[in-house]
């Protein structure tokens, strides 16, 4: 065994020496060229060096490593850069930065597969100008200005209100000068800023952007829920320095489109409660006005002013006519109280008004007025203690469809209410297809009744939110006896229809992820969000990030004949994933160009009907774990140690995380667990353990590889082990055998109890191998197996080298 190890070590050393010697003459440089805007290269300036190689004995993928003696550094101060396969006449270009002294670029070419240096050289660059430390006339370095542009245009996308969004802005240094200390912020343009900032500002930074390089700025923000649905012009402010520390500022106009599905705040008076139910001329009473926000957006700085008071009716008693309610979110209520007293001449029900003013979150102002009815001591209120409620707090109208509005009346009084009259009205110019005034002859205590009104929009109604009033009066009551309930009417677009908008409603690709190299079906569902306007002649163009998905037997665009108002159309694309795709989430961008149902390609502002949407598809690499054959004897004996050696390789392109190798089966084992850790692509490793069979029969075991893939999913791969185990066998003496053999007629048993001829009884005892002999046999078997494995590995290496030579 010692001789085998020494011999193997000598061969390995000779092989390494051969590799280094072979690589030293792998390439020669036949020419080089420097690209720089000036005739001289000064300290800190970047330029491009192009080198043309002559192929002598090429290798595979290579890495260029800058040596410590070089007068230059690689782009972004990197120490190494990957280069593609170098063939005869291949020219490679690399970006360098001058350190200020010397004029030699020294480098090594390293083969990725082996880590061996296959070529070393030094290039003399005559264009360098060493830094002169003596005082000189200052140079205007501000002329070396990097030019930072937006690579994907100035339209940043469409964003929905009330949600957290991320904008990825790809910028490019479109110049031959590097930029550093880059800071970008999004600011206000000519419109109010619709963005709710996460911090003090919306900004992102980059430490450096080399010449002709691109990078991404990420901005996170919310769109204000009260922002108007339109296109906003903003400004992207970018500050940066050149290599000499000169400062530059650029302001780039950018645009975002805001989609708002929220309902503006609608604050109205839902009840007016007077202590005791009426007020007289002797004692002031507290009037409580309850207000409610029927919209989805928050109402802020709500002010309620009580108006319509006079000396002959109702007036305030030592109180102010204006009260602050504060802020109200959706469906929240608040109250304002006033001390009121009646004039001695006031009779019946007196009518006042509540003027309500408030703001939304964008600063938009609103004003609404609601009637307030107060019963005097001499009056009679037959509508008192009747509860009114709409079946919905918001009714949405689009186009000419009809809607049913229901109002429920409940008698909470202790007496019967008679001759009630309920009428509906709205500032939205509703047309009633049923009577807008309905009567209730009688309503018993605790009884409830629901009245229904069929309505539709009138013509020329503008898109907005309008109040809807339900007024309850009593035919036999005093003048002014009335109760009011308020709801909202939302009109989406004019009656002739709203602008159609196309979105991706949902999509599916069959699983949580797609394997690189796999063909799959991507199903996309396009929805027309307009409820009144259809679209037609839609052209859909799509493009995948980094070109990772390629359509199969099709172009990257398709046609949709029509999508009706509110309808969804489903399309399925068959795509092929690039085999060398990285493990990540890839974006697929869709652009939809279309006409409305009337054949118009532009809206009333001459904006084209174009929708842009992005979806994401998760790609991962297939796990490829290869395990070499395990050499084992066909049969063995109980208690005899069996060496299990296995070499395994990661032949895929993804890392296997937290790998553990386990030897399991109906036997005892030594070194049965081996923790590999993270098993990177192209890496190989070796497992070695020992089995000790405990029982005769069939030995069944397995070598189990347990790991997690790139997505965190646990996987197991098994390699089975089978062999026959026999009992320890002795050797019994017999005729012609030793020990216990016979000689002549008398026989010889080979022991002290034996005799000659008939002189003794024949006694035969089994012959068993001594323990030391068994140990020697086991060691020899293990040595033979190890020698066989090493010989096989050597042949495998020789075969790989032979294949490589053939490929060359």
Phi, psi of 62 (to 5 degrees): -125, 160
181 vs 413, residue with greater confidence = 181
The token pair at 465 is 């939110």
pLDDT average, residue stretch 372-398? 76
Rounded-to-integer distance, Cα 349 and Cα 75, Å: 86
290 vs 480, residue with greater confidence = 290
Task: Give the pLDDT score at 477.
Answer: 53
8 A C-beta contact, residue 740 and residue 752: no
**Range of 11-20, 528-537, 660-669 with top mean pLDDT:** 660-669
**Does residue 602 sit in helix, strand or coil?**
strand
**Does residue 38 sit in helix, strand or coil?**
coil
| CATH code for residues 502-620 | 2.60.40.10
Strand partners, 524: 507, 571
**Does residue 744 sit in helix, strand or coil?**
coil
Q: What is the pLDDT of residues 561-592, one digit of tens each?
A: 999 888 999 999 999 999 888 888 899 999 99
The verdict on domain 625-729+771-805 having CATH code 2.60.40.10 is yes
- Stretch (H or E) spanning 787: helix 771-807
Whether the upstream peptide bond of residue 754 has omega within 30° of 0, thus cis, is: no
Torsion of CA 178, 184, 189, 192, to 10 degrees: 170
Rounded-to-integer distance, Cα 628 and Cα 630, Å: 6
In angstroms, the Cα distances linking 220 to 192, 231, 236, 257, 564 are 18, 19, 14, 16, 35
Average pLDDT, the chain: 79
Q: Looking at the predicted structure, is the pLDDT value of residue 496 above 50?
A: no
Task: Give the pLDDT score at 464.
Answer: 74
Q: Looking at the predicted structure, is the pLDDT value of residue 408 above 90?
A: yes
The topology under which CATH files domain 21-124 is Immunoglobulin-like (2.60.40)
Confidence of residue 345 (pLDDT cuts 50, 70, 90): confident
> How many other β-carbons are positioned within 10 Å of the β-carbon of residue 612?
14
DSSP 35: E
The topology under which CATH files domain 146-259 is Immunoglobulin-like (2.60.40)
Task: Give the pLDDT score at 684.
Answer: 93
Q: What is the pLDDT of residues 59-77, one digit of tens each?
A: 677 888 887 677 888 877 7
Does this model's pTM top 0.75? My answer is no
Least confident of 5-19, 320-334, 564-578, 794-808: 5-19
Confidence of residue 132 (pLDDT cuts 50, 70, 90): low
Q: What is the pLDDT of residues 142-171, one digit of tens each?
A: 888 899 988 888 888 888 877 788 888 999
CATH top-level class of 382-495: mainly beta
**Range of 60-69, 470-479, 694-703 with top mean pLDDT:** 694-703
The token pair at 3 is 């001789």
Of 290, 275, 293, which Cα lies nearest the Cα of 366? Answer: 293
**Does residue 11 sit in helix, strand or coil?**
helix
Domains 21-124 and 146-259 share a fold: yes
> How many other β-carbons are positioned within 10 Å of the β-carbon of residue 28?
12
Burial of 32 (0-12, 13-18, 19+ CB in 10 A): middle
Q: Looking at the predicted structure, is the pLDDT value of residue 758 above 50?
A: no
Task: Give the pLDDT score at 495.
Answer: 44
Q: Looking at the predicted structure, is the pLDDT value of residue 494 above 60?
A: no
> Strands 104-111 and 714-726: what pairing?
unpaired
pLDDT average, residue stretch 524-548? 89
8 A C-beta contact, residue 699 and residue 723: yes
Confidence of residue 757 (pLDDT cuts 50, 70, 90): very low
Least confident of 29-43, 84-98, 205-219, 350-364: 29-43
674 vs 17, residue with greater confidence = 674
In the chain, where are the structural domains located? 21-124, 146-259, 382-495, 502-620, 625-729+771-805
Rounded-to-integer distance, Cα 303 and Cα 539, Å: 51
Task: Give the pLDDT score at 718.
Answer: 92
């Amino acid at each position: 065994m010692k001789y085998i190890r020494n011999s193997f070590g000598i061969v390995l050393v000779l092989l390494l020496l051969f590799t280094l010697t072979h690589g030293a003459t792998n390439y020669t440089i036949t020419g080089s060229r420097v690209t720089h805007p000036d005739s001289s290269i000064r300290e800190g300036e970047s330029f491009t060096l192009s080198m043309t190689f002559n192929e002598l004995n090429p290798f595979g993928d290579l890495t260029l490593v800058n040596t410590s003696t070089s007068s230059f550094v690689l782009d972004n101060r990197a120490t190494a850069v990957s280069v593609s396969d170098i063939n005869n006449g291949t020219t490679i270009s690399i970006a360098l930065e001058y350190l200020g002294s010397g004029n030699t670029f020294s480098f090594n070419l390293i083969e990725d597969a082996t880590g061996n240096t296959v070529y070393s050289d030094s290039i003399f660059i005559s264009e360098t100008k060493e830094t002169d430390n003596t005082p000189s006339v200052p140079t205007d370095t501000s002329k070396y200005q990097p030019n930072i542009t937006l690579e994907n245009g100035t339209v940043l996308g469409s964003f929905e209100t009330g949600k957290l969004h991320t904008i990825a802005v790809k910028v490019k240094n479109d110049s031959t000068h590097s930029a550093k200390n880059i800071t970008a912020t999004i600011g206000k343009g000519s419109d109010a800023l619709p963005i709710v900032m996460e911090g003090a500002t919306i900004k992102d930074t980059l430490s450096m952007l080399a010449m002709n390089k691109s990078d991404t700025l990420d901005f996170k923000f919310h769109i204000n829920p009260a922002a108007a649905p339109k296109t906003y012009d903003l400004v992207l402010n970018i500050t940066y320095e050149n290599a000499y520390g000169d400062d530059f500022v650029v302001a780039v106009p950018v645009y975002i489109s805001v989609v708002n599905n929220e309902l503006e705040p609608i604050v109205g008076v839902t009840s007016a409660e007077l202590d005791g139910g009426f007020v007289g001329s002797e004692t002031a009473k507290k009037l409580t006005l309850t207000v409610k926000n029927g919209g989805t957006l928050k109402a802020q700085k709500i002010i309620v002013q009580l108006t319509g008071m006079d000396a002959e009716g109702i007036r305030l008693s030592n109180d102010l006519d204006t009260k602050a309610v504060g802020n109200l979110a959706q469906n929240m209520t608040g109250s304002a109280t006033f001390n009121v007293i009646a004039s001695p001449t006031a009779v019946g029900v007196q009518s006042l008004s509540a003027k309500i003013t408030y703001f939304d979150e964008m600063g938009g102002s609103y004003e609404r007025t609601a009637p307030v009815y107060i019963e005097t001591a001499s009056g009679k209120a037959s509508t008192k203690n009747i509860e009114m409620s709409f079946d919905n707090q918001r009714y949405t109208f689009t186009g000419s469809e009809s809607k049913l509005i229901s109002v429920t009346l409940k008698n909470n009084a202790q007496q019967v209410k008679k001759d009630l009259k309920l009428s509906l009205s709205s500032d939205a110019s509703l047309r009633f297809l049923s009577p807008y005034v309905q009567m209730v002859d009688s309503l018993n205590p605790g009884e409830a009744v629901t009245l229904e009104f069929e309505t539709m929009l009138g013509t020329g109604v503008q898109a907005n939110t309008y109040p809807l009033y339900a007024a309850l009066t009593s035919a036999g009551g005093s003048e002014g006896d009335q109760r009011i309930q308020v709801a909202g009417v939302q009109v989406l677009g004019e009656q002739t229809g709203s602008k159609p908008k196309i979105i991706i409603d949902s999509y599916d690709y069959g699983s949580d992820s797609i394997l690189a190299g796999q063909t799959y079906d991507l199903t996309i569902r396009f929805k027309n969000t307009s409820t009144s306007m259809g679209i037609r002649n839609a052209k859909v163009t799509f493009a995948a990030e980094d070109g990772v998905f390629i359509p199969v037997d099709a172009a990257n665009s398709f046609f949709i004949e029509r999508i009706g108002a509110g309808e969804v159309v489903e399309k399925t694309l068959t795509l092929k994933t690039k085999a060398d795709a990285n493990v990540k989430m890839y974006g697929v961008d869709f652009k939809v160009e279309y006409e409305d149902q009337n054949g118009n390609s532009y809206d009333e502002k001459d904006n084209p009907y174009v929708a842009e949407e992005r979806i994401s598809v998760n790609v991962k690499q297939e796990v490829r774990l290869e395990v070499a054959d395990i050499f084992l004897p066909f049969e063995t004996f109980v208690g005899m140690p069996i060496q299990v050696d296995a070499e395994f390789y990661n032949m895929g392109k993804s890392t296997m995380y937290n790998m553990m190798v386990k030897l399991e089966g109906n036997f005892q084992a030594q070194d049965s667990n081996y923790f590999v850790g993270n098993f990177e692509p192209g890496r190989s490793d070796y497992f070695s353990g020992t089995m000790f069979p405990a029982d005769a029969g069939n030995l069944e075991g397995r070598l189990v590889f347990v790991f997690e893939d790139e997505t965190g999913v646990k996987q197991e791969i098994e390699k089975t082990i089978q062999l026959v185990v026999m009992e320890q066998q002795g050797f019994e003496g017999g005729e012609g055998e030793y020990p216990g053999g016979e000689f002549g007629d008398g026989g010889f048993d080979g022991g002290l109890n034996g005799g000659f001829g008939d002189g003794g009884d024949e006694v035969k005892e089994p012959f068993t191998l001594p323990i030391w002999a068994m140990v020697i046999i086991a060691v020899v078997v293990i040595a033979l197996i190890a020698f066989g494995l090493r010989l096989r590995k050597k042949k495998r290496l020789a075969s790989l080298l032979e294949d490589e030579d053939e490929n060359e």
